Amino acid sequence: MDKGRSGETMKLGAFFHPTGNHVAAWLHPDAQIDAGTNFRHYAEITQTAERGKFDLMFVADAVATRDGKLEALSRWPQYMAYFDPLTLLPALAAVTTHIGLCATATTSYNEPYHIARKFASLDHISGGRAGWNVVTSSNVSEAFNFGRERHYDHDARYDRAIEFVEVVKGLWDSWDDDAFVRDRKSERYFDPAKLHYLNHKGEHFSVRGPLNVARPPQGHPVLFQAGSSEVGREVAARFAEGVFTPQHTLASAQEFYRDLKGRMRKYDRPPEALKVMPGLNAIVGRTRKEAEDLHNFLQSKIHPDVGLELLSNQLGGFDLSEYDLDGPLPDIPERHFALSGLGNTRNIIRWAREERLTIRQIYQRFAAARGQRTLIGSPSEIADDMEEWFRGHGVDGFLFHPSHLPGGLDDFVALVIPELQSRGLFRAGYEGTTLRENMGLERPKSRYVSN
pLDDT in tens, 220-229: 999 999 877 8
Q: Residues of the chain whose pLDDT is less than 70? A: 1-3, 138, 154, 334-343, 451
378 assigned to some structural domain: yes
- Per-residue pLDDT at 310: 87
Instruction: Enumerate the β-bridge partners of residue 328.
Output: 358
- Per-residue pLDDT at 332: 81
367 assigned to some structural domain: no
Instruction: Enumerate the β-bridge partners of residue 188.
Output: 183
128 assigned to some structural domain: yes
Using an 8 Å Cβ cutoff, are 370 and 335 in contact?
A: no
Peptide bond into 278 cis (omega under 30): no
Overall domain count for the chain = 1
Q: Which amino acid is at 298?
A: L
- CA-CA distance, 91 to 94, in Å (whole number)? 5
- pLDDT tens figures, 128-187: 999 999 988 767 788 888 888 777 776 778 889 999 999 999 999 999 999 999 999 999
Q: Which amino acid is at 41?
A: H
DSSP secondary structure, 100-162, as one string: EEEEEEESSSS-HHHHHHHHHHHHHHHTS-EEEEEE----HHHHHTTT-SSPPPHHHHHHHHH
- Per-residue pLDDT at 54: 98
Instruction: Enumerate the β-bridge partners of residue 302.
Output: none
**Cβ neighbourhood burial of 333 (10 Å; 0-12, 13-18, 19+):** exposed
48 assigned to some structural domain: yes
Domain extent, residue 389, equals 11-289+372-439
337 assigned to some structural domain: no
- Per-residue pLDDT at 335: 62
285 assigned to some structural domain: yes
168 assigned to some structural domain: yes
Please give the helix or strand (H or E) that residue 406 lies within, else none.
none
Q: Is the dihedral of CA 393, 413, 281, 19 positive or negative?
A: negative
- Per-residue pLDDT at 265: 96
Domain at 408, CATH number: 3.20.20.30
Using an 8 Å Cβ cutoff, are 248 and 373 in contact?
A: yes
450 assigned to some structural domain: no
Phi/psi at 159 (nearest 5 deg)?
-60, -45
- Per-residue pLDDT at 1: 47
